[in-house]
Each structure stands twice: as C-alpha cells, then as structure tokens.
Structure 1
Amino acid sequence: MKTTIVILSVFILIVGLIPVIKKDYWVFRVFDYPRFQKLILCLIILVLWLLLGFNDFGKLDYILFVGVVLMAIFQIYQIYPFTMFSQKMVVNSETGSDFPAITVMVINVYQDNKDYQKALNLIQTQNPDILLLVETDRNWAKEMSVLKKSHPNFIEIPQDNTYGMLFYSKLRILEHEVLHLIDREVPSIQALVELDSGDNVKIFAIHPKPPVPNENPKSTDRDAEILLVGKKVKDYDKPTLVIGDLNDVGWSYTNELFLKISGLLDPRRGRGMFNTFHAKYFFLRWPLDHIFVSKQFTLDSLKIHENIGSDHFPISAKFSLKPKNNNENYESDKEDEDTADEKIENGKSGKS
C-alpha cells in the first residue's frame, strides 16, 4: 500500500506543477483543466497517508506528505475565485430594475449529435435574445432553420470540420463580419446588435482549436485567437460580449491574460465553476464554454442547462446594461501586453 501512496503522491505533484510551465504543447496545457479533480485526489492521498500512520515514515515520506499538503493548498488557492466565497467579478443586477437587458445562450451541439429536437425544445423554452451554436454542419443548419421565425436575424457558417457556427438573434444586427483570425478553417463572428432600448452591443463569437495531440498539439493558435479578440475588445471600449467554446478553462493563464488585456469580466467568478464539459462523465468536468462581458453589464442570472445529447452542457445568462455599477475588472501592465503581443505573433506566424 505504501508503494501505491508514494506513486500517487509523486503523480499528483507532477501533474499539479506541469501547468506552471508556460509551454504551448498540449501535454503542459491539458493539466490546466482538472483543478478540482486534482484537489480531490490530493485529499484522497492525504487520507491514505494518515491511515498508513506516521510510525514508519522515512524522510522521503515526510517530504511527499508535506508536498501533497502544499499542493492541496495551491489547488484551493486556484479554485477559490470560482467559488461563492470569492468576490463577484460581475455584480448582481438590482431587483426590479428597468435597465436594458440581453439574454444569451451558447451551445456546443457536438456535430455528430442527431438529437436536434432536444436542442430545439431547450432553445424554444428559454427563448434567448442571442443564440450561438457551435460544431454545426449543414444538417444542423437545416434542422435549426425553424429558429429563423423567432430569431429573424442570423449568421450561418455551417462546416463539416466541427468548427461551424450558427448565430441567431431576436435583436437587429446592425453590422457583422465573419473573420478567420488565425486559421482559415476556423471562423469567428463579429456582430453589432441593437437592444430594444436603442443601445448597441458588440458580440464576438469564437471557437478556437483545442491543444490536442491528434489535431493541434500546441495551444499557440487557440491562445493567439483568444488574445487577438481581447485586443479588439480593448480598442472598442463599449458594451461587449465575447461568447463561445474557447476550448480553455476560465482559470487558465491564457484566460487570466485575456481578462487583463480585454478588460472583460467573467460572471462565473464569485459564483461557481458552472462546468459545461464533459456532459457524459461527471468526474471529468470543467468550464469550457464562456460568456464574458464588459464592465457596463450586471448579472441577472447564469445557468447550466440539461444535456441535449452533446458532450457539452448548454450555458445561458441574462445581463442588464447598467454603465454605472460596482464591477471591478483586471488591468494589464506592460509585461501582460508584451506577452499577449508575442503570443498573437506566434499564432499568426505558426510558431510555438
């Protein structure tokens, strides 16, 4: 038993420290995701050490035990901003306020999922102002065409490579552009919509490639696309949403940098993780789908919805547009700006 505990201790210390190494290879970045799982494993290992007792502890045993204690504390520190005990990054909307509001839903449908009606039922029940569906091919575009009755403004980019997008809006789309920021096979959408109040909101919809060994072994492209959008948001400096499956968790180094560069806010912070992936494995879940907002918004609600047959859960939120509020956003410094510029340049040039 002791040998097993030693092996587990060494393992958790390695996988806990690997993400600290800021390399773009997937083997470093993939361990950004399971922070809560790493904390649980740390606690299990500590219980096993305690059950073993301290009588037969050698010097290495004490080092490993203390190392796992410190790793557990480190994971708690990293998870804390995504708990209800932390300060809310986006403040709650005032009850009964009449500020202009916008509801948004993001669904990674999983391209091979054929349960179209289940997705439609959820969408029609929730009836969001803005709907983004990703991983949508021509079959999904055809089956979702009924939404054009309730959402007459739309942008459709069906693709067979799992990077298709369908954007439906009840709100008027004043202007839009389909972009290919880093990869010509991966589209993104930039749209300006008009609220019923007459206020304008810019929306960026993105779905960058994940760092996985069989498709894209580095996070270079993903990081560059996320940060490039962050730069665009910062230059705009008006009510903005960034939505989509970012293939990155909210607590990663890249997402932290994105918030600093863009000035956007994460409504999860101070409320919970709101995990959207993986829908089929309860022990492997983390937040991959995001709705980021600029400082002019307050939060009415944030929800994870029932599974629609995808490997992702849908996520939706309602925001009120109240420019004068108590939101506190991150600020970037020169080092942050230089790091972001370097990552963007590496993505554009195909470097790691």
Structure 2
Amino acid sequence: MQLRRAMIVVAALLWLLTAVFVTVTVLPLSNSHLWWIRAMDFPRAQYVVAILPVLAVCLAFGFPGRWVVVALLLACLAWQVSRILPYTPIWPKEIRLAPEAAGAISVMSLNVLRENERYGDVIAAVQAEDPDILFLMEINDAWEQALEPLLAQYPSVLRHAKDNHYGLIAATRLPVHDLRIEYLTTDPTPTAFGELEAPGGQVFRFVGLHPQPPVPGVDTKERDAQLVYSARFARDSDVPVIVMGDFNAVVWSDVTRRFKRIGQYLDPRIGRGLLPSFDANHPILRFPIDQLYVTPDIAVVSFARGPYVGSDHFPMVARLRIDPELAATLNRAPDGVDSAELERLSEIVEKHRLELKAIDRTPR
C-alpha cells in the first residue's frame, strides 16, 4: 500500500514537472510582451539540463500515462535544444576567424553595475585589454568620477551619466567623424552612436545599446521596438557596422534574431559557444545577453569574455578588422528577410518613428 502511494506521488510529481516544462516552452511562442512570459526565453539551456533527469525517471518507472509524459518531455526537449544548438560548437560557424594583422581594432563593452564599487577591478580589466573602443553601461556620477584617470587616456569620450541604471560612456582613440547620444525609444534608455575611422582609413559605425530588461513592471514592447528600430537605423548606409552592448535579451530570443535579420548582421557566437555574460555572480543561472554583431564586411579576429570585475556582467571583448575583401572570404552570407516579414517590420519601424517624432526624439 505504501509503495503504491509512493508511486502515485511520484507520478503526480512527474506530471506536474511536465506541465511546468510545457508551460515554459509554449508560452514564449506567443507574441506577448508581458515581462514574465519574455523572461521564460532566458533559461533555455537550464531547461534542457532540468528536463533530462525527469525524462530518465519517466523511462525508468512505469505509471499511468507515462508515454504521454515522455512524448511531451521529448517535444519540449527538442524545441529547447533547437533554440540553443546554433550557439554550440557542433553548429556551422557564421564567422571564421581572421588572422591578427596591423590595423586590427579592439572593442570592449561592459555593464559595470551601478551599485558595484570595485572601480579598480574595472579599470584593471580595461587597461589589460586596452581597447580602441570602450563602451560602458550603468554609469552614474560616482562611476564617471572614478574612471577619470582611465578616460583621460582616450582623445574622444562621450559621457552620459545617469542615476537610473542607463547611463553610459563611449570612449575611443580612433579618429571620430561623429559621436553622440541618440534616444531610439520613448523610455529613458540612451544609445551611443559613432561614426569612426579605422587605422586603414575605412569609415565604420559603432552602436552601443542597453535597452530595458523584462522585469516586474517593465514589459518588453519598448525593448523590442528599440532593437528593431536601431537595427534599421544603424544600417541606413553602406558602411560597416559594429553593434555591442547589454541587450537584456538572450541571443536565441525572437527579438534578437529579428534584430540580426533586419540589420543583416553576423554573430560570432554561432558555432562557437554560449559565452554567457550574465549573471556573473551565479554560475548556474547565466545567460548570453551581452552581444556583439557585425555586418558581413567586418572580419573578426577574436571574441571572448573578460574577467570578473564585481559586476553582474562579464566584459565582452573582440578584435576586428574593417576589411571587406578579407571578410568576404571568411563570413557566411547573412540570413535573408522574406517580403512578408519585411513589410511587418517596416510597419513597426514606421510606427516607432512616429512615436519618437511625437516626443521630439527622431534620430538625426
């Protein structure tokens, strides 16, 4: 009798866990911008790890409806794996690495975490990398003041300290044609926009993004519109483009994949590994939300995660060559956008442009 009761409890628990896995798999398929649904996009790798032992238990023990549970778990597992598989070494690479050469530039992005007071660790990490382009997020007055000795080493510094987790600094030692703040959304999240010149004389664009995350009280409509709009905004000319920053969206999310398609960008993570960048303080719950995207006319020499600096984000660093001829031999052609999706996205972009115009935030 006790064994039977134990089996009933185990079966009920397996059904319950299966219901949870089905829920977190199915709900993100919707177009909902609700924060708690979009947050389910993040831990797909963790879902895979959690599903496997539950599936093993189901296969080992017989109980009523076992094969229904197994089928549901297999379906959930297959879907979750399909989303993260491109970001593993078994997937074909979009970008083959270029050799190091004179004229390569280094870029570094880091969300410093406003409350973090390990200023020296951040300065040391930046000095060790010595990037030609530095993009820092969550900069407030205290961080700006602490970083002054470091920023003094850069001829061009864009400062936009804020006390709301969305301040930023963009600094570069490259020749600058343009370096400014743009607001590509109706919420208070600025974007760094630069038109710079590589050592070989090639002009390119750098865009630094940090949209709002899906957290209680903040749904993702503005984040998603900002990413879609910025993808189009950055690509309104034929010059090469580098995009970096804390997207607050994982690489496999629909909005990030859409951003990539609209801008015709390439992702060095594809075929290499997840390189999870957040949360640096929790080794199990880490997600790849700090992104680097480049247009096909940019060759990537290296892309890596930097050291722990006290923030909840790791720095992301890369070396790049603005060399379209070389890039053409190394980079795969980006995924296309079909006409139906392009029309729908154009409507989103135009609607967002009108919303920005209404509050006098139309980008230059």
TM-score range with shorter-chain normalisation? over 0.9
Unaligned runs of 5+ in 1: none
Distance 2:264 2:238 in 1: 8
Aligned to 2:72: 67
What secondary structure, in the 3-state scheme, does the structure 2 residue paired with 1:193 have? strand
Alignment pair present for 1:25 and 2:34: yes
Q: How does 1:124-135 map to 2 (within 5 A)?
A: 124-135=127-138
Q: 1:160-180: per-residue Cα shift (whole Å, max 9, x none)?
A: 010000111121221122111
Q: Pick from 71, 84, 89 the counterpart of residue 79 of structure 1.
A: 84
Work out the percentage of aligned pairs sharing the same amino acid.
27
How far apart are the structure 2 equivalents of 1:343 and 1:5? 42
TM-superposed CA distance for 1:297, in Å, is: 1.4
- State whether residues 257 and 340 of structure 1, in contact with CA within 8 Å, keep that contact through their aligned partners in structure 2: no
- Note the 1:1-352 alignment, pairs <5 A: 1-51=10-60, 53-54=61-62, 57-58=63-64, 60-93=65-98, 95=99, 97-98=101-102, 100-183=103-186, 185-214=188-217, 216=218, 218-324=219-325, 325=328, 326-327=330-331, 328-344=333-349, 347=352, 349=355
- TM-score normalized with structure 1 length: 0.93
SS state at 1:341 partner: helix
So what's the TM-score if we normalise by structure 2? Answer: 0.90
Tell me, in whole angstroms, the C-alpha distance in 2 between the residues paired with 1:194 and 1:298.
16
Q: Which amino acid counterpart does residue 33 of structure 1 have in structure 2?
A: F
Mapped partners of 1:165, 1:181: distance in 2: 15
* Equivalent position SS for 2:177: strand
Structure-2 change in CA distance of 1:198 and 1:300 (3 Å): same
Shift of 1:148: 2.7
**Residue deviations 1:49-68 (CA, integer Å, cap 9, x gap):** 123x23xx32x321111110
**CA–CA distance in 1 between the matches of 2:177 and 2:31?**
40
Distance across 1 between alignment mates of 2:124 and 2:300 = 25
Contact 1:178 1:188 in 2 (8 A): yes
Q: CA deviation at 1:322?
A: 2.5
Task: Give the 3 Å change call, closer, same or farther, for CA 76–184 of structure 1 in structure 2.
Answer: closer
Structure 2 counterpart SS, 1:250: coil
In 1, are the aligned partners of 2:204 and 2:239 still within 8 Å (CA)? yes
Contact 2:183 2:191 in 1 (8 A): yes
- Over the aligned positions, Cα root-mean-square deviation in angstroms equals 1.6
CA shift digits 1:184-213 (9 cap, x unpaired)? 521111111111211111111111111211
Shift of 1:97: 4.7
Residue segments in structure 2 that go unaligned for 5+ positions in a row: 1-9, 357-364
The answer to whether the Cα contact below 8 Å between 2:94 and 2:271 also exists between their aligned partners in 1 is yes
Question: For residues 110 and 86 of structure 1, do their structure 2 counterparts lie closer, same or farther at Cα, with a shift above 3 Å needed?
Answer: same
